[in-house]
Structure 1
């Protein structure tokens, strides 16, 4: 996917952000794992484009997408993904935001793959939406019955 970063914000240009994340203006998005190091420009851009503000992790409303900020050394990634699923629509998406490789807190791709599988999710793609954070798209695995 494209990486058209705005140098002033370090975020993919606002017109393409929702498209890059597969969201629409009426998507309801919840954030989990917000801390001082998250990409505030990305969060602000989402807030500007979405009809509803980003929901915090304490909300119990059913959402279309979850933005899960996770760093190596935090709690178990599988558990964090399972927690992210509690409010997610059945056909919703989890965007796992991890520090880019080489940065403090970076998460190895194999760890993401293993945790996703254990949580019943499938890694489908990535998005270039931040200079400092990797965005990995996770969806429910389809049942083959």
Structure 2
């Protein structure tokens, strides 16, 4: 398994896990790689230091705390990308605990606000104008950054 440091055209740093260097190049050529933060497909490989697991047993590594999505954190964070990592973890949490209602967001939010529907956590899409109308009606909404790549597993 090869872990590569990658960067998109917007300079978002992230890791990619590949079976080999050839696997990385094949996925890149086929357009299968994109930035998990912004979805940009212009991805390039950055310089990486080798990762050696010296003096640590598999049991010790497995005993590390798991994150909310059940994944064990591995590797290191490049300088400047800690904030990106926090944002991605927060967005994963939001996506795991909300229902995507798509374009029905405003209607469902209003129905819950007026007691016509059971309260639940939802996310969806609407125009900025409709979002302002919801806020003016006293309906609590929160804009979320558009992160389409978060629907898939991120490495």
Q: TM-score, normalised by structure 1?
A: 0.31
Higher Rg of the two aligned structures:
2
Q: Larger relative contact order (C-alpha < 8 A, sep ≥ 6)?
A: 1
